[in-house]
Amino acid sequence: MASDFNADRVFQYDKGELRKIIFAMKNMSEEASQQAKQQTGELVEYAVKEIKNAAAGHPNAKQATRIASGVRISKSSKIGEFGLGFAAQRFSGGATTQLNESRGSGPGILAGVEFGSNNIPQFQARTPKFGKRGSQGYFIWNTLRAIQPKLVSEWEEAFSKIYKEWDK
């Protein structure tokens, strides 16, 4: 799986791979599930640390660091999940770290800080396109793309060990 890394498939398995993983997870014992959560949690914490480090080097480090500092990690996830951009994280003037207001989520700045804008002068210039859809980003997506091969490889290795140990 990890050896088949493809930059256009960033952050996803195909549906067949996901079905196999979900099937295996459903058949795991409670103790195996706890081990999977622990291993996944360690990888997510590593990813969050890398995002926070990258935020410090952003052209507008104050905003980027504020967004990165608000990451919430899902402690119950076996596959590794975290969230960014929340209404509770407010800047003076009323802006939040949410994604953006065009989607009904309020005056959020996450998209502008991460991807920039050619129309709004408060943000850096728009980052170049990445793949068929989307943009490269300044600190979140670039960091995740850079560390994805390591994350996927280590997660698959840990999951395989846990599954072999507990599938008896």
Domain membership flag for residue 53: no
With residue 72 as reference, give the H or E element that holds it: strand 72-73
Domain membership flag for residue 29: no
pLDDT at 78: 74
pLDDT at 11: 56
Residue 50 structure tokens? 């890398």
pLDDT at 4: 46
Dihedral through CA 63, CA 67, CA 69, CA 74, nearest 10? 180
- Written as tens digits, the pLDDT of the chain (168 aa) is 444 444 554 556 677 877 777 787 777 778 888 888 888 889 999 999 999 999 999 988 988 898 888 888 888 777 778 888 766 777 777 677 776 655 554 567 888 888 888 988 888 999 998 877 788 889 998 898 899 889 888 988 888 888 777 665
Q: Who contacts 163 (Cβ-Cβ below 8 Å, separation ≥6)?
A: 24, 28, 32
Query: Residue 20: how many CA atoms within 13 Å on its side-chain side?
Result: 10
How many structural domains is the chain composed of? 1
Place of tokens 């058949």: 27
Domain membership flag for residue 27: no
Going 78 to 73 to 141 to 47, the CA torsion angle's sign is negative
Question: Residue by residue, what is the 3-state secondary structure of 111-166?
Answer: HHHHHCCCCCCCCCCCCCECCCCCECCCCHHHHHHHHHHHHHHHHHHHHHHHHHHH
Domain membership flag for residue 73: yes
pLDDT at 1: 41
pLDDT at 103: 53
Which domain range does residue 86 map to?
A: 59-168
Domain membership flag for residue 4: no
Domain membership flag for residue 25: no
